[in-house]
Structure 1
């Protein structure tokens, strides 16, 4: 049951993050995009910029500080290496962003968190 609740909370956080990005002028190109190397929660585009977004949800605001780490970002970066040619077909710039979601708070958008590619 605990796993199902966490999965449901994650899906809801991704929906919240997608709405948040749309309000900021982003267009959502993909959700839960899977590759052999990992998954990217959201792929969004605004102008000539494509963001590959990792979404993390926690029930407590203070837990968001440790929700993302280098290991998780490496997994996302490995997936982005595969997805880049599919989503950046016209020379768009790309970056990896993180959106942190906690109850009764606006999402926290951390742009360009990975500088490995």
Structure 2
């Protein structure tokens, strides 16, 4: 199956360096803000939930694009030393996201076999100069 990726480079954000555990949360929050803008403006999707939690984990965004529910995982990096952001979506993470999505569907009264949904990954990289790039992988897995 061919995967397509949509790449967009954003203007420099003028962000200070981020280090440490608390900073990792702010880095993630920054990436999620950029991803939300991407979903709303570029994809024209309606955000239904942010940071949906279940016993299986968390889904960064649940959105709707037409009749399709999107379960969106956002990964953000300020350095590529540990690899590309999207490489952090491991098989274990995918399985947790699948279980979490089924939990969401059940809690919200959707029937999994009667509902169109997909899993997207949005990878955000913020360079040292503050320039952000977004790679969106629709139907990533």
Deviates more, 1:64-73 or 1:50-59: 64-73
The answer to which structure, 1 or 2, has the higher relative contact order (CA under 8 A, 6+ apart) is 2
1:22-101 matched pairs, under 5 angstroms: 22-23=40-41, 24-60=43-79, 63-85=84-106, 86=108, 88=110, 91-101=114-124
SS at structure 1 position matched to 2:51: strand
Contact persistence 1:50–1:87 (CA under 8 A): no
Measured against aligned partners, the alpha-carbon deviations of 1:67-106 in whole angstroms (never above 9, x if no partner) come to 22111111111100101231747x4411111100011233
Aligned residue number for residue 110 of structure 1? 137
Could you tell me the TM-score, scaled by structure 1's length? 0.86
- Could you tell me which runs of 5 or more consecutive residues in structure 2 were left unpaired when the two chains were aligned: 1-18
* Matched pairs, number: 113
Could you tell me the TM-score, scaled by structure 2's length? 0.73
Partners of 1:87 and 1:32 lie apart in 2 by 19
Deviates more, 1:9-18 or 1:64-73: 64-73
Greater Rg by CA: 2
